[in-house]
Structure 1
Amino acid sequence: MNKVTFLYVLFLFSAVFAYAQKPTSPQVTITGKIVDAKTNEPLEYATVVLKDIKTQKLSGGITDEKGNFNIKTPKGTYEVSFEFISFKTVKLPNRVIDKSMSFGTIKLKEDAEVLDEINIVAEKTTVEIRLDKRIYNVGKDLTVKGASASDVLDNIPSVNVDVEGNVSLRGSENVRILIDGKPSALVGLSGTDALRQLPSDAIERVEVITSPSARYDAEGTAGILNIILRKGKATGFNGSINTTIGDPTQLQIAPNINLRTKRFNLFTNLGYSYRKGPGNSLTNLSAFENGVLQSTRIEDREFERERKGFNGNFGLEVFLTKNSSITGTFFIRDSDNGSGSTNNIGVFDALGAQTLSDIRIQDEEETDKTTQFSLNYTNNFNTKGHKLTVDFQYSDSEEVETAFINDSSGVENNLTEENSQNTLVQTDYVLPLGKNSQFEAGYRGQFQDLTSDFLVTRTPPLAFDPSNNLVFNQNVNAIYSQYGSKINKFSFLLGLRSEITDVKVRLVNTNDNFDYNYTEFFPTINLGYERTEKQSFTLGYSRRLRRPRFWFLNPFESRNSQNVIFKGNPGLIPTFTNSFDLGYLQKIGKFTVNSSIYYQHAVNNIERVSRDEIRPIGPGGTNEVVTIREPINLSSEDRYGFELTTNYSPSKTVRLSGSFNFFRTQTEGSYLYEQFSIDNNNNIVSTPVEQDLGNSNSSWFARFNSRITLPGKIQWQTRMFYRGPRKTAQSEIKGLFSANLAFSKDVFKEKGTLVLNVSDVFNSRKRQSLTFNPSRDNPTTINDQEFQWRVRQISLNFTYRFNQKKNQRDRQRRGGDDFEGGGEEFGGRP
């Protein structure tokens, strides 16, 4: 952190703490205890709601682990309510509170009708709406039982995970993924692989943040996906064990264990998985000259992947005082993966006669080990949201990949070694101002040091050596402040974030250096209007950026195919986006509609583009067309769309939900590159070309979920997804449909649950695309490709819970979440 940043942070917190010492108006204190009327056990996280009869304003608090509450409030006349999920509410109307007083012991009785409802809630994905985000409680969603974090995300409205594991939000892959609100080693060096290895049972909820407040990173132009891991809140020793078997080969065990006492909370999420599954791809690369077909290259590749991985998350929370705690967490991921592929290659002339036949065999081994240590200090000064948190996190990731390739032109060995150290320092301070306002400020420092060494050796040597060694350093210092308030039915949250970025890219083999230093400001505005309890409006604005990740900057060339290659671009600069989001929520009886209209304007937008080169390939070094795919900065992109999510529950046995997202993009920009050709003397010559990549495209995707209770209390869940076709200036991607089925049955007096899951029932989850180089209007090559990452999966999952009721676990979690402090929760309601 430079001196200017340090002085700014020091001044900011000095001002905040000085303000915090200002005297407040005199208040009285109400105390009491809430217990279960049947067992006399204290109810932790029960709520006390104070409704001012005169102003109709709400305030209140929650009970501690002994069921006690201690709440400060101004003098007045209130309607006092004592509530706990699945218990009947006790109300005391027109209670005059003009001095400190005790309500004694309040006994709540269970509500049988609500208990039936809670059992269903615990089994489904529920949604909570906040001023700046939507929260999806994963619960016991059947279609993701025994699956991974990727499958969980793919089941969330607004989110899509393609066949290669790339995550997109509202059709854009420029999305930031956080774990427990922070960048994490759980995402790893290769985010898609890490998400596939994190078991779904370790996830409690996913927050979809399309209009992030200033508290969050400015990274991610489409928004943020925040994955919250499970941390037990129930007192005593409890947990669950989750096991899965499947075909193609799938074995998984994921225990979650928790021990909570008055002094500490010990929690752990473990997971071991073994998967072995086939995949395939078919590539048809046609070359043209003046619109006339010259040759066709067909690559038919079959591959088999083997993945073994262990994930361990160990945490200890120590309660220092009634309001403060310190939590240490250690995470480790250790995986050993392998894959083998056979690529049958055939080259044909214009008349269809075969001129070359080859088999390219590739065997890969990859080890990935990540460790992360986190330390958190939290001090809740009172029950009104006055809070200070301090975080420190350090992670070390190492990935080693070896590949052996054999074809008729020779033998090739590839070695890739990547190592990354990441350090995070963060502090957040929340200060309530009066009853309905609060101020928040904080600092976050993220520091990454990464090396990537890619070595290719081949006999005989390649005419073009793709080996390279990259050193990447990125330091980001950020400070923010925000202020929020609620005036009657209107809420607002205004924030400003400043991020100072220092990036260094070193290409050791070529001695090329790329340095980027910039300071940017990111304002955020979130407005909310709650017209009634069943109707509300939100409006959000944020400025955000997309920093190129190291794999987009690394110019190494993929080696799965000799003729279709992806490489990075070290000259990429960040994308900056201004985003607007208008949301509407309406509840009509058992029908809920949540919709939004959004618009984004991006400059220096990062897009993947394609171009052709002529290289000596194959036996004898024959000159052939090679398609190069790489990311570049285009001038601008305008994206706008409409999103609709609905939920309908006609009865306790039938629950239906659906989502629809339509979006349109308008891209402007050009691509300057060297176009290669062969002259009459069979020499390779190049010509500079500037290609217009301006393009407009409309697309959509829809998701439907149904949950039906069959006779015998068997739960039947169906999920269907369709993504419409898309196109860019150089490519067309066909529509994709997939469907999942799941059936579950509780056993052992609801301590255990069996789930039969069929993923991709019709084996239709395939990406089919056409790429035209240099353009669709006048192509010199057309690449027709079909890719399937995994085939249909059938699995059987069994979960056993000990000292843990389904409904009890869920309501304790929900009771705590509704009263979490922090600026990101301000103005929200479930």
Structure 2
Amino acid sequence: MKKLNAIALILLFLSSIISFGQQAPIKAKLKVTGKVVEKTTNQPLEYATITLRLPDNPKAVAGGITNNKGEFAVEVNPGTYAISIEFISFKPTEIKSKSIQSNTNLGTIALLEDAAQLNEVVVRAEKTTVEIKLDKKVFNVGTDLMVKGGTVSDVLSNIPSVSVDVEGNVSLRGNENVRILIDGRPSNAINIVEALRIIPADAIDKVEVITNPSARYDAEGGGGILNIILKKGKNQGFNGTFIASGGIPENTGLTGTVNYKTKNVSLFTTQGYSLRSSPGNMINETAYLNPDNSVKNYIIEPRTNDRYGKGYNANLGMDLNINKSTTWTNTVNYRNNKGINNDLVFQNYRTALNEFDNTRTRLNREDSDSENFEYTSNFVKNFKKPGHKFSIDGSISSNNDDNTAFITETATNTTAIKIDNTINNQKQDRILIQSDYVLPLKNGSQFEAGYRGDFSELFTDYEVMINGVINPNFTNILQYKEKVNALYSQYGFKKNKASFLLGLRYEDSNIEINQLATSDFNTKKYGNFFPSAFFTYELSDKASTSISYSRRIQRPRGRLLNPFSNLSSNINIFVGNPDLDPSMTDAIDFGYIKRWSKLTLSTSLYVNKTIDAFQFARRESGSFVNGTPIIISSPINLATEYRSGFEFTLNYSPYKWWKLNSNFNFFRSETDGDFTYTNFNNVKIVQNFDNVATSWFSRLTSKITLPNKIDWQTNLMYMGGQTNAQGRVIGNFSANLAFSKDVMKDKGTFTLNVSDVFNGRKRIMETFLPGVISSRSEMQWRVRQVTLSFTYRFNKAKNERERQPKRLNDGGGDMEFQG
């Protein structure tokens, strides 16, 4: 009978609503409130059920469930009630003959896990894929069929408000200045784009999308924060999940998550191995222009990429309950990825009359080896008063990336063979320390303060050899050191239906950018205040509105700073800019959320102003290859960028067997500034970057339960086109499909998904530089992929919710305003 516990609770809850709705209100309703927590860890229990019955009648007359903070509020008529508090796999608690004659707070109710229930298959309602909250959105990865056998990039590309272009660049509401965290900490990956393509989606529990963070959070990221939370099982006993996958093109993976928990000690580990092939292609058609914009000649540059990588991803951790109020968590994370990228480029030279001249072929074989190690420790002390706590976190990490490329060039008009060799060895070390103190005060107010120290060093050794001779123009040793010390404090309080959260953060930055090959040493020191203010008003029990303000910073790092190049193409080259300054953003957000029985609507109107915004500019380098000018793309600080937009997210369940999630975002971007440089003829060139662009993107996800319990999920997405000062990006449509079927009494699940059904997810760009070039490029990073995966669970229900300990930046004060 215990297996029907969840169904019984749902039926009781529904019957209580029906019964309660049939009673004529004789007296004014009273409110019964309280909080439900897990006894051993004092962590709040979300979705716990509260049921009120009359002492002489077993039929429920009122009830409710707890929110993500474990809090509940139930309205009843005055009287005497038997109150039961229940949560799956926990021993229920009952308060008998409780007299309710006025608004009553039951205080904190602690539930103890029931080990006898853990080995049973528990029926539980499935969480929605997207949980909409007033200040953020939470994407539950486990309920999304599209990402099975995929990577973190695949996860992010399915999340509302987030888009991932074909090159792997992540943007939030159209803004690429996004801070990506893993378990509340900055990723130690040197190349975050590549790291997101390595970590398997099966290792992810959920992703938090925070569009306007408060002072508690790291000020980095002008567009907001994406917090990727890894799986760490917290269920009593021994349990786990194994996922095996295979696909075309080759996509083979095996991931296992195993947990063991006793009263005082918890052990958890996730191990994953993958073999992935990601073939892609690109074509760049360029017309080189005379000063009067007539065509001088053409170069058609098709390219094919055959990427192959094998990776190992693992974590091992332990939670230790020192006593009822103190926990200590230690985790070791390790990732290793080895890859081969065969990049074949054809440069077809044609005359001004578009007649064939000659073809040059460049074959680039790149071998890469990336290794990442991280140790984290988390200590939490809870005091007697609920919510009063002190925590300290620390992490030490090291990342090594070694890349070697051999580029062979041949041509139809010569017998000579040119061989280029590039070596790019990078090492990054990081130490992170954070401490938070939270003090609840009277009348629901709260004070919190904390410190954060982030210390990192990146060392890049890049060398280019042409026919065995070092080319000094592209050879460089770059040392990047970053020390950021931060202090923050914020105060929140509630008055009737209004909530306020005021915060101030100060960050002291010390940045060193040293080019050792040229003895060019550059130090940048600056201190900045980052205020934040949040106001929320509850219009009703189901509707809330808010207005928020925060100040953010975007520091240039890695590829943006390093003046080295990838020489796959020797005529279209990207070069970093070590003189980039950080950009500062002021963000204002107006939010509204409304919940109905089957529908949740979240809307947002936002305005951002960014000073010294990054912009990519293309220009002539002054060098030539076979008479063709080399075009360099490089980031610059543009004067000012204004960005405004509107978005809405809908969760709609018209039937029990059909769930719909949709997201729409429209934004307007206005840039104001000039780019000035001196070309190879010693002529001063001024490019006007004043530009106004509008764009939009929309995503629709449908999940239907077919007969025989087959789940069918469809994902449709359209990225609107966008203009910039030097050209435009063409709009693009893509679609994904997935099917799943539970077997073995819900212990196993088969999932088939097709990514990019129509094989058209491409980035198409057009560029026009007067008197220089007119070009069109089309890039497809990965072709259509089909993946079949099998999931097996033991001692664990299919949709069981795993409770997580708090991590760095993971809701330190638990006073985030939610609808």
Q: 1:686 to 1:77 in 2, by over 3 A?
A: farther
**Separation of aligned partners in 1, 2:227 and 2:341:** 31
**Matched residue, 1:803:** 795
- C-alpha contact 2:671 2:690 (8 A) present in aligned 1: yes
Deviates more, 1:631-640 or 1:376-385: 376-385
Task: Confirm whether residue 626 of structure 1 aligns to residue 627 of structure 2.
Answer: no
> What is the TM-score of this pair, normalised by structure 1?
0.85
**Matched residue, 2:817:** 828
Q: What's the offset of the Cα at 1:642?
A: 0.2
AA aligned opposite 2:641: E
AA aligned opposite 1:420: Q
AA aligned opposite 1:828: F
Q: 1:508 to 1:827 in 2, by over 3 A?
A: closer
**Matched residue, 2:174:** 171
- C-alpha contact 1:210 1:223 (8 A) present in aligned 2: yes
1:147 to 146, 150, 168: 150
- C-alpha contact 1:117 1:652 (8 A) present in aligned 2: no
- C-alpha contact 2:34 2:71 (8 A) present in aligned 1: no
- C-alpha contact 1:211 1:526 (8 A) present in aligned 2: no
> What is the TM-score of this pair, normalised by structure 2?
0.87
Q: 1:99 to 1:166 in 2, by over 3 A?
A: closer
Q: What's the offset of the Cα at 1:825?
A: 3.2
**Separation of aligned partners in 2, 1:606 and 1:103:** 51
Q: What's the offset of the Cα at 1:84?
A: 3.8
Q: 1:345 to 1:102 in 2, by over 3 A?
A: closer
Q: 1:616 to 1:530 in 2, by over 3 A?
A: same
- C-alpha contact 1:421 1:450 (8 A) present in aligned 2: yes
Please give the residue correspondences for 1:650-799 in structure 2 after superposition, counting only pairs within 5 Å. Answer: 650-676=654-680, 685-773=681-769, 778-799=770-791
**Separation of aligned partners in 1, 2:140 and 2:378:** 24
AA aligned opposite 1:583: G
**Separation of aligned partners in 2, 1:210 and 1:99:** 34
**Matched residue, 1:311:** 313
Q: What's the offset of the Cα at 1:327?
A: 0.9
Q: What's the offset of the Cα at 1:434?
A: 2.1
Q: 1:404 to 1:703 in 2, by over 3 A?
A: same
AA aligned opposite 1:149: V
- C-alpha contact 2:701 2:716 (8 A) present in aligned 1: yes
Task: Confirm whether residue 575 of structure 1 aligns to residue 583 of structure 2.
Answer: yes
Q: 1:105 to 1:647 in 2, by over 3 A?
A: closer
Superimposed CA distance per residue, residues 454-512 of structure 1 (whole angstroms, 9 cap, x where no aligned partner): 00011175877311110110000000001111222111111100000000001111111
Q: What's the offset of the Cα at 1:592?
A: 1.6
Q: 1:81 to 1:575 in 2, by over 3 A?
A: farther
**Separation of aligned partners in 1, 2:694 and 2:722:** 7
Q: What's the offset of the Cα at 1:383?
A: 5.9
**Matched residue, 1:30:** none
AA aligned opposite 1:231: K
| Coordinate RMSD, CA, aligned | 3.3
Q: 1:656 to 1:374 in 2, by over 3 A?
A: same
Q: 1:248 to 1:488 in 2, by over 3 A?
A: same
Task: Confirm whether residue 551 of structure 1 aligns to residue 559 of structure 2.
Answer: yes
**Separation of aligned partners in 2, 1:295 and 1:822:** 58
**Separation of aligned partners in 1, 2:272 and 2:536:** 41
- C-alpha contact 1:59 1:435 (8 A) present in aligned 2: no
2:489 to 481, 500, 513: 481
**Matched residue, 1:536:** 544
- C-alpha contact 1:614 1:624 (8 A) present in aligned 2: no
Q: What's the offset of the Cα at 1:56?
A: 4.7
Q: 1:67 to 1:608 in 2, by over 3 A?
A: closer
1:592 to 576, 600, 618: 600
**Matched residue, 2:39:** 64
Q: 1:58 to 1:779 in 2, by over 3 A?
A: farther
Identity of aligned residues (%): 40
**Matched residue, 1:329:** 331
Gapped runs of 5+ residues in structure 2?
10-27, 46-69, 73-77, 115-120, 411-416
- C-alpha contact 1:410 1:460 (8 A) present in aligned 2: no
**Separation of aligned partners in 2, 1:104 and 1:164:** 49
Please give the residue correspondences for 1:68-79 in structure 2 after superposition, counting only pairs within 5 Å. Answer: none
**Matched residue, 2:273:** 272
Q: What's the offset of the Cα at 1:209?
A: 0.7
- Indicate the SS of the match to 1:156: coil
AA aligned opposite 1:469: I
Superimposed CA distance per residue, residues 681-729 of structure 1 (whole angstroms, 9 cap, x where no aligned partner): xxxx231112111100000000001011111110000000000001100
Q: 1:446 to 1:99 in 2, by over 3 A?
A: closer
Q: What's the offset of the Cα at 1:80?
A: 8.5
- C-alpha contact 1:767 1:786 (8 A) present in aligned 2: yes
Superimposed CA distance per residue, residues 96-140 of structure 1 (whole angstroms, 9 cap, x where no aligned partner): 7999999999999xxxxxx9994433xx4130415x322222232
Q: 1:54 to 1:324 in 2, by over 3 A?
A: farther
**Separation of aligned partners in 2, 1:160 and 1:79:** 51
- C-alpha contact 2:39 2:112 (8 A) present in aligned 1: no
Superimposed CA distance per residue, residues 46-94 of structure 1 (whole angstroms, 9 cap, x where no aligned partner): xxxxxxx999584433242599999999xx9998854445799978764
Task: Confirm whether residue 120 of structure 1 aligns to residue 116 of structure 2.
Answer: no
Gapped runs of 5+ residues in structure 1?
1-34, 44-52, 109-114, 677-684
**Separation of aligned partners in 1, 2:420 and 2:530:** 48
**Matched residue, 1:517:** 525
Task: Confirm whether residue 234 of structure 1 aligns to residue 235 of structure 2.
Answer: yes
**Separation of aligned partners in 2, 1:288 and 1:450:** 40
**Separation of aligned partners in 2, 1:353 and 1:728:** 32
**Separation of aligned partners in 1, 2:272 and 2:399:** 18
**Matched residue, 1:646:** 650
Q: 1:445 to 1:100 in 2, by over 3 A?
A: closer
**Separation of aligned partners in 2, 1:629 and 1:144:** 33
Q: 1:270 to 1:423 in 2, by over 3 A?
A: same
**Separation of aligned partners in 1, 2:635 and 2:80:** 61
Q: Which 4+ stretches in 1 moved above 3 angstroms?
A: 35-40, 53-59, 65-73, 76-108, 115-120, 460-464, 820-825, 827-830
AA aligned opposite 2:815: F
**Separation of aligned partners in 1, 2:320 and 2:233:** 14
- Indicate the SS of the match to 1:320: strand
Deviates more, 1:224-233 or 1:659-668: 224-233
- C-alpha contact 2:624 2:630 (8 A) present in aligned 1: no
Q: 1:518 to 1:236 in 2, by over 3 A?
A: same
- C-alpha contact 1:80 1:95 (8 A) present in aligned 2: no
**Matched residue, 1:635:** 639
Deviates more, 1:545-554 or 1:570-579: 545-554
**Separation of aligned partners in 2, 1:660 and 1:295:** 43
**Matched residue, 1:500:** 508
**Separation of aligned partners in 1, 2:156 and 2:195:** 13
**Separation of aligned partners in 2, 1:251 and 1:552:** 33
- Indicate the SS of the match to 1:626: strand
Task: Confirm whether residue 294 of structure 1 aligns to residue 296 of structure 2.
Answer: yes
**Matched residue, 1:21:** none
Task: Confirm whether residue 205 of structure 1 aligns to residue 206 of structure 2.
Answer: yes
Q: 1:39 to 1:587 in 2, by over 3 A?
A: closer
